[in-house]
Amino acid sequence: MSAYPETVAEIATALAKGEFSSVEITRHFLQKIAAHDGRLNSYITVCEEHALTQAAAADTLLQGKVAGPLTGVPYAHKDIFCTKGIKTSCGSRMLDNFIAPYSATVSERLDAASMVLLGKTNMDEFAMGSSNETSYFGPVINPWREETVPGGSSGGSATAVAARLAPCATGTDTGGSIRQPSALCGISGLKPTYGRVSRFGLIAFASSLDQAGPMATTAEDLALMLNVMAGFDKKDSTSIDRPTEDYTRTLNDPINGLRVGIPQQYFSSELDADVAAPIRTAISELEKMGATCIDLDLKHMHLSIPAYYVISSAECSSNLSRYDGVRFGHRCSEPRNLDDLYCRSRSEGFGAETQRRILIGTYALSSGYYDAYYRKAQKIRRLIRDEFQNAFANIDAILGPTSPSAAFEIGQKLDDPITMYLSDIYTTAVNLAGLPAVSIPAGFAEGLPVGMQLIGNYFAEAKLLQIAHQYQSTTDWHRLSPPMQSGVD
C-alpha cells in the first residue's frame, strides 16, 4: 500500500490538513515516475526541478492558510499545451526543439490554482492517433498489459494516471482522445462542451473539434479539475462567455428519475461481446439506482467516422501549414531552395500518420473535391448535431461503450488506418456535435479495462459528473489500479 492517498480529493484534503507537504507528495510522484516510466514511456518531459519549486511555493500558501482547493496537488500535462519556458513537442519531431514564449490559458489556470506540474505527457503526434503509437517519442505502454496500447491520443496522460504516476492529468479530445485512452486504461476522463475550456495555447489539430479536459481516477476529481480549467477566455473567440459552476456541487445528488438513452447503434456488430457485457451490467446498475433507460435510435451515427475524418483532416491540413521550417520547429539541413526547405523540413519533421492526415485533408479541400467531401461532411455534421438535440428533448444523458474493444496490441492496427480509425466509432459524433461526454471504468474484458461513455447536452458537465459519481459510489472499478512490476510503493 502506498503511504499516500491516490485521488485528487484525498490529496487536497490531506495537504490542507498538513498531513504531508506538497513537496513530499510531489517527490513521491517523481520517484514513481523515475521507477516506472522508463518502461511505460508516459512522460516526454519530467519537470523535477520546476515541480519541486512549485511545490515549495504551494507549501508556503498552505502554511499561510491562503491556499485554494487544489493548491499543491501534482498533475501531469499533455504535451500539447504550451508551457512558457518548458518544451512543448506535441509528440512530434517537428517541435522537438520548441519552447513557447507563452503559456496556454489552461496552463495559466492550473498555475494560478497553485497545482504542481510534474511533467509533459506523451501523445500521438499532433494528437492524431488512437493508440499513442504515432508519437515521435515512442509508444506508451498500457500498464494493465505490457503488450497493449493505452489508446490515444492522450495515451501518456491515461497511462500516467492509471499507473499512479500522477493523480490527475490534462488531455485533449478531438475525436475521443480523452475518452478512449481513459477507457483503455481504466480511468475517468471528461471531454467538456466545445468552448467550455479555452483553446488558447493548445496546439491545434482540428480547431472546430479540439477540446481540453481533465483525466483522473474518479468523477469527483474530474469535477475538481474542471473547476480550475473551465471558463471564458477572450483570447479564444470560440470560447463561450457563460459563467462556470461549481462542478462538485451536485455530485452527491441522487439520480432517481434520470432518463438515460441507450442508442442501439452503440451495440452493433462492431462491438466486442466482452465489452458489451460489462456495459449492460452497468446499465442495470443505473436502473437499480433509479434511472430509466430508454432505447434510442441515432440513425446518422454510422456517418460520424467518415465525416469526422474529412473535417478533422481538412482542418489539420491547414493548421499544420505553419510548420514550414521558416520561423520555428524542425528545419532540414542545408536546403537547396524554398521548395526543398518546405518539402524536406515537413517530410522529416512529421511522421507517417500526420502526413497521411495532411494529404487526406488537402485532397478533401481541393477544388473539384470540396463539395463531395468537405461540404458533404459539414452537412452530416449538422444532421448529427440535430439528431442529438432531438434526443435530448426527452432524455438527460446517452449511455454506451466508449470504445468498441478493450486495449489492443501494440502494432496490431498501425498498418491498417481504417481499422484504427474505427476505434473512434463511438466517440467522434460527440465532437462533431460539440457535446460534453465522460468515460468512466465499468468493468473488465479479459483482464483489460472497459470504459462506459455518458454523453450529455450542451453544458451538462455537472449532470454527467453527478451520474458518474453516483455510479462510482456503488462500484469499485475506478479504484482498481494495475499491478506494478517493481517500484517504490
Partner 1 sequence: MEWEAVIGLEIHAQLATASKIFSATSTAYGAEPNTQASAVDLGLPGVLPVLNEKVVEMAVLFGLAVGAKIANSSIFARKNYFYPDLPKGYQISQYDEPIVTGGCIEIQLQNGKLKIINLTRAHLEEDAGKSVHEGFDSSTGIDLNRAGTPLLEIVSEPQMHSAAEAVLYMRAMRRLVRYLEICDGNMQEGSLRCDANVSVRKTGDLTLGTRTEIKNLNSFRFVEHAIQFEIDRQIEIIESGGNVKQETMLYDADRQETRAMRSKEDAHDYRYFSDPDLLPIKITDDYIRTTAAALPELPVQKRKRFVEEFKLTPQDADVLCEDRAVASYFEAAAGESMGNARLCANWITGELFAAINASNLHIAASPIAPKALGILVSRIADDTISGKIAKQIFEEMWKTGLQPDELIVEKGLQQVTDDSVISDLVDKVLKDNPDQIGQYRAGKSKIFGFLVGQVMKLSNGKANPKQVNDILKKRLNSEIN
Active site positions, annotated: 78, 153, 177
Beta-bridged to residue 83, according to DSSP, are 86
CA distance 355 to 277: 38
Residue type, 261: G
Q: How far is the CB of 236 from partner 1 (least distance, A)?
A: 5
Question: Between residues 367 and 486, which has the closer beta carbon with respect to partner 1?
Answer: 367
| C-alpha span between 153 and 169 (Å, rounded) | 13
Among 2, 18, 66, 234, binds partner 1 (CB under 8 A): 234
H-type helices in 290-351, by residue range? Answer: 304-319, 338-349
Decide: is 432 part of the binding site for partner 1 (CB under 8 A): no
Residues 6+ apart with CB under 8 A from 203: 80, 81, 82, 88, 90, 95, 126, 127
Cα 437 from Cα 423, distance rounded (Å): 16
Alpha-carbon span 212 to 199, nearest angstrom = 7
Is residue 458 at the binding interface for partner 1, with CB under 8 A as the rule? no
Q: Are 354 and 129 in contact (CB under 8 A)?
A: no
Among 362, 412, 473, 481, binds partner 1 (CB under 8 A): 362
Q: How far apart are CB 102 and partner 1 at their closest, in Å?
A: 6
Please report, for residues 206, 404, 474, the alpha-carbon distance to residue 367 in angstroms, rounded to integers and kept in the order given.
Answer: 20, 36, 55
Q: Of 17, 30, 4, whose CA–CA distance to 71 is shortest?
A: 17
Element holding 188 (H helix, E strand): strand 188-191
Residue span binding partner 1 (CB under 8 A) among the ranges 15-23, 140-148, 314-322, 480-488: 314-322
Strands (E), 37-112: 43-46, 74-78
Which C-beta is closer to partner 1: that of 19 or that of 348? 348
The burial class, CB within 10 Å (0-12 / 13-18 / 19+), for 24 is middle
Q: Is 308 in the site for partner 1 (CB under 8 A)?
A: no
Residue count, binding to partner 1 (CB under 8 A): 43
- Candidate list 374, 388, 392, 444; residue touching partner 1; CB under 8 A: 374
Q: Is 99 in the site for partner 1 (CB under 8 A)?
A: no
Q: Would you say 321 or 389 has its CB closer to partner 1?
A: 321
Query: Does 128 engage in binding with partner 1 (CB under 8 A)?
Result: no
| Residue 100 or 398 with smaller CB distance to partner 1 | 100
Q: List the x/- string, 204-223, binding to partner 1 by CB under 8 A.
A: x-xxx---------------
Of residues 235-254, those binding partner 1 (CB under 8 A): 235-238
**90 binding partner 1? (CB under 8 A):** yes
Nearer to partner 1 by Cβ, of 237 and 269: the residue is 237
CA dist., res. 474 & res. 317, Å (int): 45
Task: Give residues in contact with partner 1 (CB under 8 A).
Answer: 81-82, 88, 90, 95, 98, 100-102, 104, 199-204, 206-208, 234-238, 314-315, 317-318, 320-322, 324, 326-328, 338, 342, 362, 365-367, 370, 374
